Amino acid sequence: MNDPARLAVLLSGSGRTLENFLAKIAAGELPARIVAVVASRGDVRGVEVARDAGLPCAVFRRKDHPDPAAHSAAINAWLASFLPDIIVLAGYLCFYVPPAGFAGPVVNIHPALLPKFGGQGMYGDRVHRAVLAAGETESGCTVHLVSERYDEGRILGQAKVPVLPGDDEHALAARVFAAECELYPRVLAELARARR
């Protein structure tokens, strides 16, 4: 198909991954367009990134809903009119339940080589500190399908980076994020091209 895949992006933070997607789309490397952005907080830079790019953006705070199912249902009701082909978690820190009957993939990226260093509460610098504490010689990132359990969906792609002597979590995080910036758009491009 020549028509670009319609992406809905869910984020909770700085919007760096969203910026990367926009750059890859503009460069012709990601055959997609972002049709909607959801943020779990209103005070994050990701909201500004979305609005500066002219993207529809809505904030759905977890604390405004009684449980993850209700939170996800509110998000999904808002997303429905945008008809996304792929729902993309981009530094999204809330548990997400995809819409019932949604035909497209729902994907996430994790800043480690799953199945290691995944699960509830394992995000951001917590992951990198755990990798360093375990004495690992390599780390990386994993793109996977979202399932009913944190970080346990089918793996779609991984990229490895070395853990270097003297690394702290910030140095390792920077190296992993650079790998994420290449891996995530590449996997999304494959999914976009594989649509029926």
Coil, strand or helix: which one is 70?
helix
Q: How long is the chain? A: 196
The DSSP annotation for 9-56 comes to EEESS--HHHHHHHHHHHTTSS-EEEEEEEES-SSSHHHHHHHHTT--
Q: In what order do the strands lie in the sheet with 138-145?
A: 57-59, 32-39, 5-11, 86-89, 106-110, 138-145, 155-162
Nearest of 140, 171, 174 to residue 157 by alpha carbon: 140
Catalytic residues: 110
